[in-house]
Amino acid sequence: MRTADRSASHARCDSSRARGMANAEWLLLGGSILVSLALLELFLRLWFPLFPSPYQPDDVLLVKLVPGAKKAFTRQAVNGGQRIVSQINSQGFRGEELRSLDHLKRVIVYGDSSVQAEFSDLAATFPKQLESRLAPASSAGVEVINAGVVGYGPDQISLRLPGDLETLKPALVVVVIFADNDFGDLIRNRIYRLNSQGDIELSHYRLAPSWRANLQEAAHPRGLRRLQLERYASRLWWIVRQLWSQAPLAPDEGYYSTYVEQSLQRSQIEFRHYLTDGADVGYAEDPFADPYDADIALQPDSLSARHKTALMERVLIKLRDTTGRAATGLVLVILPSAVDVCDHYYFVNTRRYPQYDRGRLSRLVEDMAVRNGIPYLNLWHAFRAEDANLYYFHGGDDHWNDAGQAKAAQLLADLIKQRQLLDVPNRKP
């Protein structure tokens, strides 16, 4: 072989070896990256998981909890900064699995985010604290079921109640009315309408298709969305977009001073849309949107305020009649808004709105309970008698805190004992 041919052959071999070494290096690098990503995925799953959403769409209730789901909530620094993981049981209630009904009295507590209380450890939630106060005084065991769902209004509770009464056989039903946004839920959800006789009728309501699709995808992710890495990437991208758009990640001081005004404008817009839709077009948009019922608090003579009030009373009557037919007790817990019961929580311009009354939203529900023979506990009086700021979170989170839930549980337990609301024959399956 000629020298030139041997040189060319050696060059080709060297080139092949170089390409082989380069390919091996790339494969090694790729393998290292894959292993690193796999280890990071495992680390995130074990120690810092981002769970799928615990909320899924429902044809009747608009939204319901996903059985077996978990939800992580991190309190703001001003409220302690704790990370709390809540568990949904196999029947769709927050907490442990239900016990056998033998030799047991059940209490079901319904409400919105205040009852589900993803911001508190299980033992500190209102239902659990109520259970711990009722059990020692009962000859039979007492189980208190947490049937709270973020965003729920009394209309959704009225639809869910008959089935729960049939399957769970409670001795007592507790409905927590949040005198802050529960009136407005009746408008936003589109579930009921008032007919010409002033009675409620079901609308042809449904969840907006876009919301249904988003809720389904978030609760039951598929493909890459099942990976923690994808969830963290999506979260990071959301933060970047917020920063790029200069949208605040947390409320600023200006928000606190304008929140009530914004709620009034939103309430007026929601009511106009409700009237425009009519009974045959009932799209519920955001099932978690809950602005303050500013129209009732600030403008009690407005059409929206009067309509919401009438609608609320008919729904409460429906709750009373449903529990009455099942021979089950009913008690309302009226939870006041932090806007109303706390000093200096949000600003209300009383010069501009001279009809504003701190206690109106709570008192309206109390008056309805009195007129219709429903036992009730109005927490306005107890919270206002002391420093109500002690019973709510701060930093824009207007939920009651652990102390507020404990205070309410003690007062309700006392009322139940005094009125003997649990002293009814135990309902058997």
Q: What would the pLDDT profile of 210-245 be if each residue is shown by its tens digit?
A: 999 999 999 999 988 889 888 889 888 878 887 887
Report the distance separating Cα 322 and Cα 330, nearest Å: 10
Q: Is the pLDDT of residue 403 over 90?
A: yes
Report the distance separating Cα 401 and Cα 429, nearest Å: 36
pLDDT of 238 reads 78
Q: Is the pLDDT of residue 203 over 70?
A: yes
Q: Is the pLDDT of residue 426 over 50?
A: no
Q: Is the pLDDT of residue 186 over 50?
A: yes
Q: What would the pLDDT profile of 246-304 be if each residue is shown by its tens digit?
A: 777 777 767 667 899 999 999 999 999 998 877 666 678 899 989 999 999 999 999 99
Q: How far apart are the first and last CA of the chain?
A: 98
Beta carbons within 8 Å of 126's beta carbon, 6+ residues apart: 109, 114, 115, 117, 176, 400, 405, 408, 409
If pLDDT is split at 50, 70 and 90, which confidence band does 49 have?
A: confident
> Where are any strands of DSSP class E within 318-413?
329-336, 376-378
pLDDT of 419 reads 95
Q: Which of 131, 145, 121 is nearest to 71 (CA)?
A: 121
Q: Which of 214, 212, 192 is nearest to 204 (CA)?
A: 192
- Residues 99-113 have a mean pLDDT of 94
CATH of segment(s) 95-219+246-419: 3.40.50.1110
If pLDDT is split at 50, 70 and 90, which confidence band does 9 have?
A: low
Structure tokens at 63: 């939204």
Q: What would the pLDDT profile of 12-21 be if each residue is shown by its tens digit?
A: 566 677 676 7
Q: Is the pLDDT of residue 23 over 90?
A: no
User: What H or E segment, with its residue span, contains residue 404?
Assistant: helix 402-419
